[in-house]
Amino acid sequence: MVSVKKIAVEDTYFIRQEILRKGMNLPYTFDGDDAEDTFHIGVYEREKIVSIGTFMKRSSGVLEGAQYQLRGMATLNEARGKGYGKLLLDFATKELLKLNITYLWCNARVVAVKFYEKNQFQIIGESFMVAIVGPHYKMYKTIKNENN
């Protein structure tokens, strides 16, 4: 059975370490993890968290309007290709609609760009380097049209 729900920040740490920070001398905790308007989502497969994402109220510096940043999205290797990332983003979109958020944005690793494009994200600007991690693109998705 698969379920999606909000989780505690501590529940993100294992996957962040295993997938996003493995072999890297980088922190697996993020500035803003405990902010009042930050929330974390987990996808469970048979009661085990297999996919995570953190959503922080932050400006992209490029977009106008209410926005959140997606950080630390990752899925365990054995759970990839099952649509869990899409489930997580769909759940987050519903939560962000309740908050009247216009845009969700992220700094996407180059290897994840196609995934985000399949989920209605668009690239903003040129690629950029994140030390130790590699090339990224800033991407965004419209959550709520400002005219509605």
- For 58, 118, 126, 138, the CA distances from 61, given in Å and listed in that order, are 9, 24, 14, 11
Written as six digits, the tokens of 141 are 């998705």
**Any bridge partners for residue 4, and if so which?**
43
What predicted TM-score, i.e. pTM, was given to this entire model?
Answer: 0.93
Q: Are 106 and 68 in contact (CB under 8 A)?
A: no
Question: Hey, what domains does the chain have and what are their CATH numbers?
Answer: 2-101 (3.40.630.30)
Per-residue pLDDT tens over the stretch 95-134:
999 999 999 999 999 999 999 999 999 999 999 998 888 8
In percent, the amount of the chain with pLDDT more than 70 equals 97
User: What pLDDT score was predicted for residue 96?
Assistant: 97
Per-residue pLDDT tens over the stretch 11-57:
999 999 999 887 777 778 899 999 999 999 999 999 999 999 999 99
User: What pLDDT score was predicted for residue 11?
Assistant: 97
